[in-house]
Structure formats: structure tokens, C-alpha cells
Chains A and B, each alone.
Chain A
Amino acid sequence: QVQLVQSGAEVKKPGSSVKVSCKASGGTLGSNSLNWVRQAPGQGLEWMGRIIPMLGVTNYAQNFQGRVTITADKSTSTAYMDLSSLTSGDTAVYYCARDQDMPVVPLTYWGQGTLVTVAS
């Protein structure tokens, strides 16, 4: 069973950047998408973007274009989400979620979440 283990909580200043990691323990990042989804306090789920690790292809939601960068290191089975120019509106729990390979099912396996707090 693939488990996704994310890095710990972060507190950041407005205008700074945050980098959250997501390591697949007991397996790989898979042959399909590794997605990032965020959830503001008391709010719903918002897809940010994805990477297909085998191809290095990325897609980003329009809301985050230019501010988010998703990368993956296949050698360590770790994906990263880098978000810049942080504001208080970016305070949220950030989740990574991996697709199941066969059959392909999106956002099947989720990390435990990483709380990012943006405050001065």
C-alpha cells in the first residue's frame, strides 16, 4: 500500500515562499499524476496542479499560474510544491494526492496534509 508522507507545518511571512514535500513510502510516485490540493480553514477542496513524474509534465490551475511550481524527484520518490508571494489567503492545509495506476483513478491516495500559516 502506497503511503504519502508530507513535510511538517510551516509558518511564513507575507511575501515569502513555502516548499512542501510529499514522499511516497513503500512505493513510487506512480506512473500517473501526483496532484496538489489545498483546503482553507473551514472551506472546500481546491485543486492547484499536478505533475506526471514519468514524463515531467506539469499542469497548473489558472488561479495559481505563475506562483506555484510542482516538481518531482523520482530517485527519492518525492514530489514538491513551491508556492511564492504568499498572502494570508494562502493559509490552508495542503494535500498531495496520487492517482491509482491501474485502473487509472485520480486522487486515490492522499497525504496527511501540511498546514501552512501565513502571518506577519
Chain B
Amino acid sequence: DTVMTQTPLSLSVTPGQPASISCKPSQSLLHSDGKTYLYWYLQKPGQPPQLLIYEVSNRFSGVPDRFSGSGSGTEFTLKISRVEAEDVGVYYCMQSVQLPPTFGPGTKVDIK
């Protein structure tokens, strides 16, 4: 199984400041079809996860443009340009290049 490593595991951010989360899979997420199957989810307290970013850098419908994803191969980053209070929760990266899909351990983001 592909192991997903996230850093940091927790982050405390001042509103309006940027935040960045790293995700490193144990193997390349580049598929032979040319796509890279890396996703980012946010789980707000008491809620199911919600999709933010698919295939590295595509924002899902309704996701604010302060969220952006980048990276390739085995190094990926989620950036929040200006953190807002509603962004608190746990952020997970996930790969689906091979079964089983696997998630990172999560990065807990709170507001200072």
C-alpha cells in the first residue's frame, strides 16, 4: 500500500496569514494515463470530509480560490493564501493511483 506522509501534523495560524501543508507519498502518484491521482480533503469538526482539490491542483466546485494545490511525483503541497476562521479542521491528502486508496494522517489546523 502507498503510505502518505503529511507535515506538519498540526498548525496554528493567525487569520489572514498563509498556511502550507506538505504531503509525500511513498511512491509516485503519476499514472500511465498521464494523470496524477492526489486529492485534498478538509474535515471540519463533527462533519464528514469534504473534497477541496482533485488531481493535484483542480479546485472542486464551490471551493474558494484561496485554496491551491501543487506538486508532482512524490511531493505535493496544499496552500491556503489567507486563512479564515471557517478553515479550521483536519486536512487529509489521499492517493488513488492504486488500490487501496490511502490517506495521510491528517494535519490539524486551528486559529491563533
Contact = CB atoms under 8 A, between A and B. Distances in A.
A54 interface: no
B99 A108 contact: no
18 contacts: A44-B92, A44-B104, A44-B105, A45-B43, A45-B92, A59-B99, A95-B49, A97-B49, A105-B39, A105-B54, A105-B60, A106-B37, A107-B41, A107-B49, A108-B54, A110-B48, A110-B49, A111-B48
A70 to B, nearest CB: 13
A105 B48 CA distance: 17
A84 B55 CA distance: 35
Interface residues of A, number: 18
Give chain A's interface secondary structure class. Answer: strand
Interface in A57-111: 59, 61-62, 95, 97, 105-108, 110-111
Interface of B: 1, 37, 39, 41, 43, 48-51, 54-55, 60, 92, 94, 96, 99-106
A106 B39 contact: yes
B103 A47 contact: yes
A62 B39 CA distance: 22
Instruction: Give the 10 A-B CB pairs with smallest separation, nearest first.
Output: A110-B48, A45-B103, A61-B100, A105-B54, A106-B96, A47-B101, A47-B100, A44-B106, A44-B105, A108-B51
Contacts of A105: 39, 51, 54-55, 60
